[in-house]
Every structure is written in C-alpha cells, then in structure tokens.
Amino acid sequence: MGIRLRVSRQTLAVLDALLDHPTQWHHGYALSQQTELASGTLYPILMRLEKARWLETKWEDAPVPGRPPRHFYRLSGNGREWAREELRAAQTSKFWKPAHGKV
C-alpha cells in the first residue's frame, strides 16, 4: 500500500464521489456539489490525495477561449483499491455512511 492518510469523514466523502465513476475525470466544482464541501475544504483534501499519489490530475486539453483551463481529477489504480478499502473499513466501524447507499 502507498502512503496512508489520516482519513476524515470529508476525505471519505471525496473518495466516495471519485469512486462514483472511477475511470472518468472529475472536476472540482462537481465534486464540491456532490460532497457538499466548500472549496476551502475540498481542495486541501485533493492536494493531500495527490501528494500521497492516490490521485491523478490533468489540465483541460482545450479550454474555452477567454477562460482559464479546468483541472481534472481521478483516483489512480492503486488509489482506487486503497479508497475502497478505507471506505469499507469506515463503514464497518460505523465511522462513515455513504450518502446514496453505495460501495
């Protein structure tokens, strides 16, 4: 396993959202709406996940002219495994409950 994280309820919510369509790229605002986390909470979590190599990031290939490019995120291969493991453990210990009864 890679770098383990201290996983908070908010981090679990982000992991859950990223696992919704694990191979697709997600963008920040959609994740924020899905998890109901403010940008000031969401981005530090994304930063930590990226630093721990759980997350892959990329910039929008063809940004809309006149607008800054968007940043996209998805879990890495190992990241997905570790995320599932964390979510399962959190559910077992009743630390966290998925929003829509998934996992």
Contacts with other proteins, residue ranges (CB under 8 A): 27-29, 32, 38-44, 46-47, 60, 63-64, 67-71
| Buried/exposed 17-38: b ≥16 CB within 10 Å, e otherwise | bbbeeeeeebeeeebbebbebe
Give me the least distance between CB of 29 and other proteins, in Å please. 4
Cα angle 99, 12, 30; round to 5 = 65
- Choose between 24 and 93: whose C-beta lies nearer to other proteins: 24
- Choose between 41 and 91: whose C-beta lies nearer to other proteins: 41
Query: How do 71-75 and 55-59 pair as beta strands?
Result: antiparallel
Give me the least distance between CB of 94 and other proteins, in Å please. 29
- Choose between 68 and 101: whose C-beta lies nearer to other proteins: 68
